[in-house]
Amino acid sequence: MVGLFDEPSVTYAHVAVERGVDQFPEGLSYGVPARLLPLKIGQLVTVPLGRGNTPTQAWVLSLTDEAPVLAAGKETKQIFEKDRETIALPSDLVELARWMSQYYFSPIGPTLSTMLPGPVRQGTGLVTKQLLDFADNQADECKLTTKQQQVLHALNAMPKSQRPVEPKVLMKAANVRSKSPIDSLVARGYLHCHHVTTVEATWFKHAVDATTPESLTKEQTNVLRAIEEKLQSGYSSHLLFGVTGSGKTEIYIRLIEQAIEGGGVALVLVPEISLTPQTAARLMGRFPDKRIAILHSALTKSQRHQQWALVAEGKADIVLGARSAVFAPLQNDQIRIIIVDEEHDSSFKQDNSPRYHGRDVAIRRASMAKCPIVLGSATPSMESWWNATERKISTLHKLTTRAPGLVAPQIEVVDMRSERIHGEVGYPILSTKLQRALHTTLACDGQVLLLLNRRGFAPWIACASRTCGWMMKCDHCDSSMVYHRKKPLEHAGFVRCHHCGTEQRVPKQCPDCAKKIIQLGAGTQRVEATLRESLQIPAEQIARLDGDTTRKASDLQEMLARFGKGEIRVLLGTQMIAKGLDFPNVQLVGIIDADTAIDLPDFRASERTYQLVSQVCGRCGRGQGKAIAIVQTFSPNAPAIVLASKAEYEQFASQELQFRCDASLPPVTRMVRFIVKDTPFDQAASRADSLVDRLRAIASTDISISPAAPCVLPRIADRFRFEVIGTAATSKALQEFLALARKTIKPSRDFVVDVDPISML
């Protein structure tokens, strides 16, 4: 409470507007009218902006009683209004946003806005409640009805902490059925009623899984001990490298248990909750009396608002969520531990501004909160591996064997080059080996997971004539059109561009030579069609899980639940099925084409392939029965595939780091990628060239700036794309360079600055 004499003397605020020019780092100064006091850092306000004093929303960055220095004749403008206090961000998040804004070269206002979930902002699910308490002047009770007296007695009997109270609760306590005694007490001045607008908080009741292993393995015990020791000693960073099924989650659970023992919150980040429902179920099951807030996209808007509000009100013990949960509305001193599961997953990187990496922001948060952070993975990112093994800024912990009762899958690599069907064009979708394994597995009631990381029916539409060479391209992008069937077993279809979404009809014949059109290659739809035609099992036991069949998050959950119950026996999908799925009866996994990632012109292609193969293969062998993984590839000798099939991560990592070192690529160096998008081509090219000039003019000798070059996808949605790559030996050097660059260049929709880029397309 602010008393009469200790009114805060704050009279000026620095704010960052949500849109428009970047006001990093200090923001714009405004006066704070007395009626808006107290004003908090992290609050959203409306300010007059520009000559027209357009009302504009802005975040309060800092407060001061020092008047800003203004040019002669100028006056400080006053803040118009403040928004609902319930959506204020904790001041520690404002600090984090400052760091992000600087590190990721993103404007500060929009960076803050990224931290606030849309539904909270919009107030979705807000309800107005009545709250009752005694009025200040109590009248004599004798003229009251029995019911009214009951109400007053009940209220009187309530502990002070429970008041003011909601009508429902008071009715129950007073044992009255109707609200009218309360209403008349309010009308007659006995009770005071005021209205509050809040979001009704509820906790989730998820499917729970409470299985607790009887004892930890020796390896688990050692790892747990080593990390436990650091729980109370401020910031520390740990990389938990454990093969899939080695019991990493079990370690997380025990660490969380201890970390939050005396209060405080554990923050747990996973790549995508709807893909890892089991992690949520296990946490729920193992912490029945803890309050777990879940932040993810599959919730309704009002649920998302509720969960956020619960965290902001300090009511959650554990916060579980995907990338943006790193912005859980907590102050630093509330956080006891941060866990990032599947830390290598590229979905932690946001691909629009601010282009932050959830794992890296989490590391920063942990260091600000002075608590430990545990990054877990069976296939650590090169960044984390480098940090743990070479830079030694985090501690490596290993779990080398699968948990008791789990078997390591037997992985077989199939060379597709020798699978050519006699007398036919092209290659089969399923190799003989995979076909046989499918039949045997189904015959002994096992379940199957099949992965193909490509949607649609066929990735290419081309002319049948070998001499013609026509291939259908998108009119707006430099990419081929993908053929989609309307239904997997019907021939009707259309083509779509996966980059800009343009759809077209399939031409009847080649526009160049009038020969027949053919569909080349295979996407998930084609695999589905092949399976439906070749497997002798009821249609409903086969399902396809990809972006096209799971438009809604609930579709996905339903499909996974059906797979869990055994109703679906063959589940085919894109990398969505490669994540944390944990189904004991999966006896066979097949990777239809392990080369989808290897062929990408991206220096992380090999790393991605290793991860994909190894993660997918880890989906089997979690129960009784056999565990076979079959990897189909046209590059059976590629190190990523050979080593992943032998589960030789460390060898792969050391070879890969050697390559990065030789080629001066991350994580050995640090990178920033600039993308200029423009039309026509010449204009894009000359803008990119002049960017190179400007960057080279400010770059110290520590920084190398590449020449401008067309991106791997040189045109998307009619805009030509050029990239310029900046490389520095250290993050510090890169940051110093970016700080200089910030004075002259401004990111925008057609000018992207991507620090620590993950995708090079």
* Contacts to Zn ion by CB under 5 A: 463, 465, 468, 470, 474, 476-477, 497, 499-500, 502, 510, 512-513, 515
Rounded Cα distance between 270 and 274, Å, is 10
398 vs 687 by CB, closer to ligand ADP: 398
Of residues 406-425, those binding ligand ADP (CB under 6 A): 406
Strands 44-49 and 81-82: antiparallel
Indicate the SS3 state at residue 724. strand
CA 220 to chain centre: 28
Given 14, 82, 230, 248, the residue binding ligand ADP (CB under 6 A): 248
Query: Interacting stretch for ligand ADP, rule CB under 6 A, among 15-23, 243-251, 262-270, 530-538?
Result: 243-251
518 vs 553 by CB, closer to Zn ion: 518
Given 36, 173, 216, 685, the residue binding ligand ADP (CB under 6 A): 216
Rounded Cα distance between 78 and 348, Å, is 39
CB of 451 to ligand ADP, least distance (A): 18
CB of 16 to Zn ion, least distance (A): 35
Q: Does 218 bind ligand ADP (CB under 6 A)?
A: no
- Cβ atoms of residues 755 and 355 within 8 Å: yes
24 vs 348 by CB, closer to ligand ADP: 348
CB of 704 to ligand ADP, least distance (A): 40
108 vs 337 by CB, closer to ligand ADP: 337
Query: Interacting stretch for ligand ADP, rule CB under 6 A, among 16-24, 210-218, 387-395, 413-421?
Result: 210-218
Given 107, 119, 247, 459, the residue binding ligand ADP (CB under 6 A): 247
339 vs 668 by CB, closer to ligand ADP: 339
497 vs 643 by CB, closer to Zn ion: 497
Rounded Cα distance between 154 and 181, Å, is 13
Given 244, 377, 549, 585, the residue binding ligand ADP (CB under 6 A): 244
Rounded Cα distance between 352 and 286, Å, is 36
CB of 484 to Zn ion, least distance (A): 14
Alpha helices in 429-510 (DSSP H): 432-443
| Neighbouring C-beta atoms of residue 484, cutoff 10 Å | 19
Peptide bond into 680 cis (omega under 30): yes
397 vs 721 by CB, closer to ligand ADP: 397
Tokens of 490: 């019907």
92 vs 250 by CB, closer to ligand ADP: 250
513 vs 600 by CB, closer to Zn ion: 513
CB of 245 to ligand ADP, least distance (A): 4
Which residues are paired to 614 by β-bridges?
Answer: none
Q: Does 380 bind ligand ADP (CB under 6 A)?
A: no
Q: What is the DSSP letter of 664?
A: T
Beta-carbon contacts of 187 under 8 Å, excluding residues fewer than 6 positions away, are none
Tokens of 447: 């379940």
Q: Does 211 bind ligand ADP (CB under 6 A)?
A: yes
285 vs 639 by CB, closer to ligand ADP: 285
CB of 378 to ligand ADP, least distance (A): 7
CB of 693 to Zn ion, least distance (A): 31
Tokens of 374: 């545990």
Q: Does 456 bind ligand ADP (CB under 6 A)?
A: no
Indicate the SS3 state at residue 371. coil
CB of 360 to ligand ADP, least distance (A): 22
Which of the listed partners (Zn ion, ligand ADP, none) does 249 bind, with a CB threshold of 5 to 8 Å by partner kind? Answer: ligand ADP
CA distances from 610 to 239, 345, 379, 389, 647 (A): 18, 12, 8, 19, 9
Which of the listed partners (Zn ion, ligand ADP, none) does 463 bind, with a CB threshold of 5 to 8 Å by partner kind? Answer: Zn ion
Q: Does 281 bind ligand ADP (CB under 6 A)?
A: no
In 3D, which of 217, 344, 206 has the Cα closest to residue 279?
Answer: 206
Question: What b/e string do you get for 295-319 counting C-beta neighbours within 10 Å, with b at 16 or more?
Answer: bbebbeebbbbbbbbbbbeeebbbb
45 vs 474 by CB, closer to Zn ion: 474
CB of 7 to ligand ADP, least distance (A): 54
Stated length of the chain: 761
154 vs 224 by CB, closer to ligand ADP: 224
The CA-based angle 752-59-73, given to 5 degrees, is 100
Terminal alpha carbon distance of the chain: 55
244 vs 480 by CB, closer to Zn ion: 480
Q: Does 217 bind ligand ADP (CB under 6 A)?
A: yes
CB of 571 to ligand ADP, least distance (A): 19
Indicate the SS3 state at residue 722. strand
Rounded Cα distance between 290 and 722, Å, is 51
Given 403, 522, 598, 671, the residue binding ligand ADP (CB under 6 A): 403
Peptide bond into 8 cis (omega under 30): no
Which of the listed partners (Zn ion, ligand ADP, none) does 510 bind, with a CB threshold of 5 to 8 Å by partner kind? Answer: Zn ion
Given 43, 91, 101, 249, the residue binding ligand ADP (CB under 6 A): 249
In 3D, which of 19, 47, 22, 15 has the Cα closest to residue 113?
Answer: 19
Query: Interacting stretch for ligand ADP, rule CB under 6 A, among 248-256, 288-296, 436-444, 662-670?
Result: 248-256
| Neighbouring C-beta atoms of residue 89, cutoff 10 Å | 24
Given 22, 92, 250, 756, the residue binding ligand ADP (CB under 6 A): 250
In 3D, which of 8, 24, 6, 5 has the Cα closest to residue 16?
Answer: 24
CA 688 to chain centre: 31
Given 43, 102, 237, 246, the residue binding ligand ADP (CB under 6 A): 246
Query: Interacting stretch for ligand ADP, rule CB under 6 A, among 22-30, 173-181, 400-408, 435-443?
Result: 400-408
What is the spatial order of strands in the sheet that 292-295 belongs to? 292-295, 318-321, 265-269, 335-341, 372-377, 236-242, 395-399
- Cβ atoms of residues 341 and 315 within 8 Å: no
Query: Interacting stretch for ligand ADP, rule CB under 6 A, among 212-220, 225-233, 685-693, 719-727?
Result: 212-220
Sign of CA dihedral 738, 740, 741, 746: positive
Given 117, 245, 456, 726, the residue binding ligand ADP (CB under 6 A): 245
Tokens of 393: 């800024």
Q: Does 404 bind ligand ADP (CB under 6 A)?
A: yes
CB of 379 to ligand ADP, least distance (A): 12
Query: Interacting stretch for ligand ADP, rule CB under 6 A, among 139-147, 242-250, 309-317, 684-692?
Result: 242-250
CB of 492 to Zn ion, least distance (A): 22
Which of the listed partners (Zn ion, ligand ADP, none) does 470 bind, with a CB threshold of 5 to 8 Å by partner kind? Answer: Zn ion
Rounded Cα distance between 435 and 433, Å, is 5
CB of 221 to ligand ADP, least distance (A): 9
The residue type found at 567 is E
In 3D, which of 92, 136, 135, 82 has the Cα closest to residue 115?
Answer: 92
CB of 286 to ligand ADP, least distance (A): 10
Which of the listed partners (Zn ion, ligand ADP, none) does 413 bind, with a CB threshold of 5 to 8 Å by partner kind? Answer: none
CB of 400 to ligand ADP, least distance (A): 11
CA distances from 663 to 135, 600, 660, 727, 758 (A): 76, 17, 5, 11, 17
CA distances from 492 to 229, 495, 519, 532 (A): 63, 11, 13, 17
CB of 213 to ligand ADP, least distance (A): 3
Tokens of 542: 């086969």
Binding site for ligand ADP (CB under 6 A): 211, 213, 216-217, 220, 242, 244-250, 403-406
